[in-house]
Amino acid sequence: MDSSFKIVHQTRPLCNYFAMAGNIDAQAEAQLMGLPAKVNQQLVKFDFSDTGRINSMGIALLLRCFKRIKEEKKAEIQVMQVNPTNTMLFRMTGIFLLAAATKE
């Protein structure tokens, strides 16, 4: 399985949808730091169903990305399809303070 990181962006009705595929680590920096500029809706959904490992650098990048979306775009962030290990990781590192978990 290809574990390199990719973001697939779709504009859906009234929201921006980003599917996060692969491992999220230092290699994801350029893509994640460029992501806030693509946000043009008040609701942003992140789909983690194809996400592999997220290490501490990946967490740092997600926190930076989410903070910029909230501060610069004033948008609400939702995350979905997060596996159990990454859910634990999100709980203990403050990701869920910036983004709400949702099923859809």
Partner 1 sequence: MERNATILAIFADSADAEAMSNYLAELPEVISVTADRSLATTLEQLAFNRIEPALTIIPGTLYPESMPLLVRYVRCCFPNTEILVIAQASAPPPSLERFMADQVRHLIVEPQQISVAAGGDFPLSLAIGNLIEKRQWTIDQYVKEGTEIREFKLTFSEEKEKIIRTLEDAIVGDSPEHEMLRHKGALLADEMLENAFYGAPRSDDGMKMFRKGERRQILPQENIAFRFAFDGETLAMEMQDGWGSLGADLVLEYLAKNSANMEAADDAGGRGLFIIWRFLDQFHVRVAPGKETLIGGHLRKSSQIPPETLHGFHITTG
Task: Give the residues lining the site for partner 1 (CB under 8 A).
Answer: 3, 25-27, 29, 53-57, 59-60, 63-64, 67, 83-85, 88-89, 91-94, 97
Nearer to partner 1, 40 or 94 (CB): 94
- Cβ 59 vs Cβ 93: under 8 Å: yes
Q: How far is the CB of 16 from partner 1 (least distance, A)?
A: 22
DSSP states along 44-84: EEEE-TTEEEE-HHHHHHHHHHHHHHHHHH--EEEEE---H
Angle at which helices 84-93 and 56-73 cross, to 10°: 60
What's the min distance (Å) between Cβ of 14 and partner 1? 28
Q: State the nearest-atom distance from the C-beta of 2 to partner 1, in Å.
A: 12
Q: Which is nearer to partner 1, 15 or 98 (CB)?
A: 98
- Alpha-carbon separation of residue 75 from 84, 85, 88 (angstroms): 26, 26, 24
| Residue with Cβ nearer partner 1 (29 or 76) | 29
